[in-house]
Amino acid sequence: MSEQSARDLFAARFQGAPDGVWAAPGRVNLIGEHTDYNDGFVLPFAIDRSTAAALALRDDRRVRVASTFDAALVDTTLDDVAERRFAGWSAYPLGVAWAFGEAGTDLAGQRGFDLALDSDVPVGAGLSSSAAIEMATAVALNDAWRVDADRAALARLGRRAENIAVGAPTGIMDQCASVFGRADAAVFLDCRSLDVEQVRLGFAEAGLVLLVVDTRVEHAHATGGYKDRREACERGAAALGVPALRDLGLDDLPRAEQELDPVTYRRVKHVVTEDDRVLRSVDALKAGDVAAFGRLMVESHASMRDDFEISVPELDAVVDVALAHGAVGARMTGGGFGGAAIALVAADAVDPLREAVAERFAASGYRGAAAFPVVPADGARRLA
């Protein structure tokens, strides 16, 4: 994204200049998958790709949204937004405006707005392009409407938009990564308390690159496997008598195995062991032990492939090829059923790895994968 292209779009669609331009990044998750909606731990970072939002308040109640990723201009009113009436992709930005109302902002007393969105977060690659739109809109409206909500509250608004307006039963990791991100740090988040600790990564100083390999296998979290996994986790927690799987430790697993059916047990086992891996990853990274972190990435992938069963052959292939080419660690990232894998590799291994993935994909008859490095970047903010 660029501030300028959001301004240019604003001028082309609405005439004039916006009151300001805000931006919010996508994210990549280092470790901690499907733990967020179980009140557990995650370790994502905000990436150097983001959505820019150019916004101006209006003197009436009209609301218009334009974007560089969809030709249609959305033209509605704040009254419709307050009633949760919006269609298609506009549910992401307008769902956030609705969520402000649900959380107590008096939408009847607010002015309408013109909003122009530009984004360079790839869609469908598991890098939270949707959270980037939500949080760019959230920081823009928070300032423009003078709501003064804090960052955790903004993340909650984004999740409400995603859960209720879009209809995807996701957790709060993506929105928190987008607002709490910091250059060169990961966001260690307790998804129950929303306590955040920035964990310095120092990958670049160590000569390492975090490579994202987008398999281009499309996934959707509003339907299918994601929802099914979430329900299995809730079932498991209820059967074991805890508010959330976060409340179980490794030593509860033998009891879980006895009391649960085999499939629910495997789902529970993934979440409980994954929470433990996040905590150990934070310790390893703080101690500068990148090799230990790499091993935890590999264990995390195996757990998602074998116990949570959310990987696909393309993701497994990327991980295999990355490890065979000397990656420190590799795993699928995000919700699964497609999307991207990440590999932590030496800078000079990036090109050979890209080629090896391309060869493996061609040999297996898979669609071409797209591989690109990401670096930790600052979270949602006002640009101008």
Strand partners, 345: 209
Phi-psi bin for 39: left (phi > 0), alpha (psi -120 to 50), beta? left
CB of 39 to ligand GLA, least distance (A): 12
Is residue 174 close enough to count as binding ligand GLA by CB under 6 A?
Answer: yes
- Is 214 designated active site? no
**One residue of 7, 33, 91, 95 binding ligand GLA per CB under 6 A:** 33
x/- binding map, residues 126-165, to ligand GLA, per CB under 6 A? ----------------------------------------
x/- binding map, residues 34-53, to ligand GLA, per CB under 6 A? x-xx----------------
Strands 113-119 and 62-67: parallel
Is residue 334 close enough to count as binding ligand GLA by CB under 6 A?
Answer: yes
Residues 335-354 that bind ligand GLA (CB under 6 A): 335
Of the pair 132, 318, the CB lying nearest ligand GLA is at 132
For residue 247, the 8-state DSSP code is G
Which one of 174, 214, 275, 307 is the catalytic residue? 174
**Of 138-146, 169-177, 279-287, 372-380, which segment contacts ligand GLA by CB under 6 A?**
169-177
* Count of residues interacting with ligand GLA (CB under 6 A): 11
**Of 28-36, 136-144, 286-294, 361-369, which segment contacts ligand GLA by CB under 6 A?**
28-36
Distance CA 91, CA 164 (A): 9
Whether 168 contacts 162, CB under 8 Å: yes
Distance CA 96, CA 93 (A): 5
- 248: phi then psi, degrees, rounded to nearest 5: -105, 150
**What b-and-e string marks burial along 208-228, b requiring 16 or more CB atoms within 10 Å of the CB?**
bbbbbbbbbbebebeeebbee
Q: Kindly write down the DSSP assignment for every residue of 206-245, as one continuous string.
A: TTEEEEEEE------SSSTHHHHHHHHHHHHHHHTT-SSG
CB of 331 to ligand GLA, least distance (A): 11
**Of 2-10, 98-106, 141-149, 168-176, which segment contacts ligand GLA by CB under 6 A?**
168-176
Kindly list the catalytic residues: 174
Residues that bind ligand GLA (CB under 6 A): 33-34, 36-37, 170-171, 173-174, 221, 334-335
